[in-house]
Amino acid sequence: MKILLVEDDARIAGEVMLALHGAGYIVDAVVDGEDAWFRGDTEEYDAVVLDLGLPRMDGLSILKKWRANDRRFPILILSARGSWSERVEGIDSGADEYLPKPFHMAELLARLRAIIRRSAGNATTTLSIGALTLDPRQMRVTQDGQPINLSPQEYRLLSYLMHHAGRVVTQIELTEHLYAQDFERDSNAIEVLVGRVRRKLRADPIETRRGFGYIINGSES
């Protein structure tokens, strides 16, 4: 999962980046409002953590422009502006969550998991496809109740496919959501990664659609 972090306070940005990386996310971090708007308007993200008080363009203006341009990724607002009216304005402008500063990092991660889960249409905290279960909170995968030992990148791949179960996901989309922007993109990287995951699963739920991409069907048994 790939997150855009928009925060101009270096201390807070560093702490949030550390927590996001520890939770298995790929993170692009920006400090400038105009840069943030451009990134969100041209790159694909699974969620955005957005501060409101930014140089050059404020967070609320960025949010409104993204939604006007039909950018649908879930957005979690972080802000020292804690009045109820500002929270209402943020939600009415298209934010999915609003977390006032100061905040506990565990709450930020929980709210982020929730908006990503809801945006993918998943109501439960764990994802299950047949005997395969993924727990985003613990970053744990089991099959038939037995743990599957995955590397961080293998976990990210399986997590993305399971969050989008029933939909064909292209190699380009997977590359955009699994790797940082400065990653040197090898055309075979995703194919190799899928192969590694398949070898670790006792029953393979990942179906290759030649010329299109990969899919995990929600009805896999």
Q: Where are the domains of the chain?
A: 2-119, 127-216
Please state, for a pLDDT cut of 70, what percent of the chain lies above it.
Answer: 94
**Average pLDDT of 193-220?**
88
Q: Give the C-alpha distances (Å, rounded to integers) separating 213 from 28, 46, 127, 172.
A: 25, 19, 21, 9
- In sequence order, what DSSP letters do the residues of the chain get, joined into one string? -EEEEE---HHHHHHHHHHHHHTT-EEEEE--HHHHHHHHHHS--SEEEEESS-SSS-HHHHHHHHHHTT----EEEEES---HHHHHHHHHTT-SEEEESS--HHHHHHHHHHHHHHHTT--SSSEEETTEEEETTTTEEEETTEE----HHHHHHHHHHHHTTTS-B-HHHHHHHHS-TT----TTHHHHHHHHHHHH-SS--EEEETTTEEEE-TT--
What tens digit of pLDDT does each residue of 121-170 get? 887 889 999 899 999 999 999 999 999 999 999 999 999 999 999 999 99
CATH T-level topology, domain 127-216: Arc Repressor Mutant, subunit A (1.10.10)
Q: Do domains 2-119 and 127-216 have the same CATH topology?
A: no
**pTM score, whole prediction:** 0.84
Q: What's the pLDDT at 140?
A: 95
* CA angle centred on 160, ends 6 and 93, rounded to 5°: 40
Domain 2-119, CATH number (from 3.40.640.10, 3.40.50.20, 1.10.600.10, 3.40.50.2300): 3.40.50.2300
Q: What's the pLDDT at 22?
A: 94
Q: What's the pLDDT at 221?
A: 39
What tens digit of pLDDT does each residue of 80-124 get? 866 777 778 888 999 999 999 999 999 999 999 999 999 888 878
206 vs 82 pLDDT, higher one: 206
